[in-house]
């Protein structure tokens, strides 16, 4: 009898863990699917704890050969945000945002030779992690591109006094959402091939 009770309890625990795992998995998927670009923000500042959470998420991104060729410049100065807005034709929302994170590639940490360009992929992965973290903790953000536009990247590098070996990839504008746009459904089966171009699922 004791064995039967033990087995039943063990099965119940396994079922409970499985249900929790499914719930956590669904929450992660929902966070990805509900992320959308937010360009309007309230006046509420972003807390230091939330900033660290997003930066930790960014640094958890995959990176070629673990080079981690990134550097994150956090901007919460209204004057600096306004200055950045003036140098980015797509960055008007910076004037009213409480926070921005400029994701930079550090060429001193980039792979040598032909692998140098992988810094773009590494920093892009970090950028998406930051955006997903922002969505998960109730913030909103938008990715505004800088590199490879030399004028945009150069202007931001000058404002932030970046070393010559740093290349700003993008500016992530972040704040508490003052809008609730509906996420776009970007699912398009025609953009998928199996095993070779044009191949269909079996």
pLDDT in tens, 137-192: 999 999 999 999 999 999 999 999 999 999 999 999 999 999 999 999 999 999 99
Residue 154 and residue 17 in contact, taking contact as beta carbons nearer than 8 Å: no
- Domain extents in the chain: 48-175
What is the Cα–Cα distance from 102 to 164, expressed in whole angstroms? 15
Q: 11 pLDDT band (50/70/90 cuts)?
A: very low
What is the Cα–Cα distance from 179 to 41, expressed in whole angstroms? 7
What is the Cα–Cα distance from 9 to 4, expressed in whole angstroms? 9
Q: What are the distances in angstroms from CA 21 to CA 24, 132, 135, 175?
A: 5, 19, 21, 30
pLDDT in tens, 23-68: 899 999 999 999 999 999 999 999 999 999 999 999 999 999 999 9
Which residues in 186-201 are b (16+ Cβ under 10 Å) and which e?
Answer: eeeeeeeeeeeeeeee
What is the Cα–Cα distance from 125 to 157, expressed in whole angstroms? 21
pLDDT, greater one: 11 or 104? 104
- Signed CA dihedral, 144, 147, 150, 153: sign only: positive
* pTM given for the model: 0.89
Residue 139 and residue 175 in contact, taking contact as beta carbons nearer than 8 Å: yes
Q: Which residues does 122 contact at the CB level (< 8 Å), separation at least 6?
A: 61, 62, 63, 64, 67, 68, 69, 70, 105
Helix, coil or strand: residue 97: coil
pLDDT in tens, 80-118: 999 999 888 888 999 999 999 999 999 999 999 999 999
Does domain 48-175 fall into CATH 3.40.710.10? no
């Amino acid at each position: 009898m004791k064995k039967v009770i033990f087995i039943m309890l063990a099965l119940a625990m396994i079922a409970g863990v499985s249900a929790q795992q499914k719930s956590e998995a669904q929450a992660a998927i929902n966070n990805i699917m509900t992320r959308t670009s937010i360009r309007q923000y309230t006046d509420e500042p972003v807390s230091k704890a939330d900033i660290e959470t997003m930066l930790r998420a960014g640094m958890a991104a995959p990176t070629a050969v673990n080079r981690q060729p990134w550097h994150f410049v956090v901007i919460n100065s209204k004057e600096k945000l306004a200055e950045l807005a003036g140098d980015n034709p797509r960055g008007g929302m910076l004037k009213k945002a409480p926070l921005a994170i400029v994701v930079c590639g550090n060429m001193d940490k980039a792979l040598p030779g032909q692998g140098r360009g992988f810094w773009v992929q590494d920093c892009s992965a970090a950028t998406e992690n930051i955006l997903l973290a922002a969505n998960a903790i109730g913030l909103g953000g938008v990715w505004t591109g800088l590199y490879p536009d030399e004028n945009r990247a150069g202007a931001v590098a000058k404002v932030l006094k970046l070393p010559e070996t740093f290349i700003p990839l993008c500016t992530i504008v972040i704040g508490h959402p003052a809008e609730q746009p509906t996420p776009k459904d970007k699912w398009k089966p025609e953009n998928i091939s199996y095993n070779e171009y044009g191949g269909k699922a079996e």
